[in-house]
């Protein structure tokens, strides 16, 4: 049977999508990850000499001309989606770029969300310490909501079904439960929240480094 679907939205078939492979990790000039950006924008920064491209394997730094020259060598061996074709040449999509002037780290708050709470508590019940699958963990208000407890970093923890059921609507004192550690706002870099789950493996070593710095 023929497939009669039309691809109407294909003005920019090769670039500008938000697929993970089309994002570059952006490092400040101290090599600390600060953001991600579409590959197209990463190349604009290279053209302006605002940034250089990094080879994640060798840590070598390339300006635009050097990156184009390198692409002549690497390009033919790369998968199609890793190369950006222009009328004049094919250029390897940089996975990591280095800002040449910017040394800062954007200060943003880690947003309060279920996902971040799971992450803060390491997917473990904060009363018994057991690590459970997601569907066996719930969010417990340390001071119950019915007693005026707020939904905040300081008053919410992960609890397994068993502990949550036992603690129910009681305070810590009434239930005799103890928290493994005092809950608070996470200290990791909010950048890590914006990293797509399916990111290039080459980002990992830069992000690991940043997690240490952020902690
Ligand atoms: Zn528990």
Q: How far apart are CA 208 and CA 67, in angstroms?
A: 25
For ion ligand 1, residues whose CB falls within 5 Å: 125, 127-128, 160, 163
Distance 188 CA to ligand 1 centre (A): 25
Q: Is the pLDDT of residue 21 over 70?
A: no
Predicted pLDDT at 159: 97
Q: Is the pLDDT of residue 19 over 50?
A: no
Count, residues in the chain: 215
* 163 neighbors 121 (Cβ within 8 angstroms): no
Q: Which domains does the chain have, with CATH numbers?
A: 20-107+189-214 (no CATH), 114-175 (1.10.30.50)
Distance 166 CA to ligand 1 centre (A): 9
For the entire predicted model, the pTM comes to 0.59
Distance 133 CA to ligand 1 centre (A): 12
Predicted pLDDT at 196: 79
The per-residue pLDDT for range 27-60, each reduced to its tens digit, is 999 998 988 999 999 999 999 999 999 999 999 9
Q: Is the pLDDT of residue 10 over 50?
A: no
Distance 138 CA to ligand 1 centre (A): 10
Q: Is the pLDDT of residue 187 over 80?
A: no
DSSP class of 131: B
Distance 145 CA to ligand 1 centre (A): 19
101: nearest Cα among 196, 202, 26: 26
């Amino acid at each position: 049977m023929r497939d009669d679907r039309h691809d109407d939205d294909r003005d920019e078939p090769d670039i500008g999508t938000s697929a993970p492979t089309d994002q570059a990790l952006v490092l400040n000039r101290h090599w600390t990850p600060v953001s991600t950006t579409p590959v197209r924008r990463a190349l604009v920064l290279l053209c302006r000499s605002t940034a250089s491209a990094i080879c994640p394997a060798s840590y070598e730094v390339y300006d635009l001309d050097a990156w184009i020259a390198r692409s002549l060598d690497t390009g033919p061996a790369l998968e199609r989606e890793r190369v950006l074709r222009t009328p004049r040449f094919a250029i390897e999509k940089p996975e990591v770029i280095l800002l040449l002037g910017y040394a800062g780290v954007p200060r943003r708050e880690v947003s309060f969300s279920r996902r971040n709470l799971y992450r803060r508590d390491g997917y473990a019940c904060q009363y018994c310490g057991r690590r459970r699958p997601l569907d066996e963990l719930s969010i417990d208000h340390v001071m119950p909501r019915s007693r005026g407890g707020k939904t905040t970093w300081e008053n919410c923890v992960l609890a397994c079904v068993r502990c949550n059921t036992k603690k129910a609507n009681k305070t810590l004192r009434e239930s005799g439960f103890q928290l493994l550690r005092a809950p608070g706002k996470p200290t990791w870099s909010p950048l890590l929240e914006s990293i797509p789950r399916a990111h290039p493996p080459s980002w990992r070593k830069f992000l690991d480094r940043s997690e240490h710095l952020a902690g």
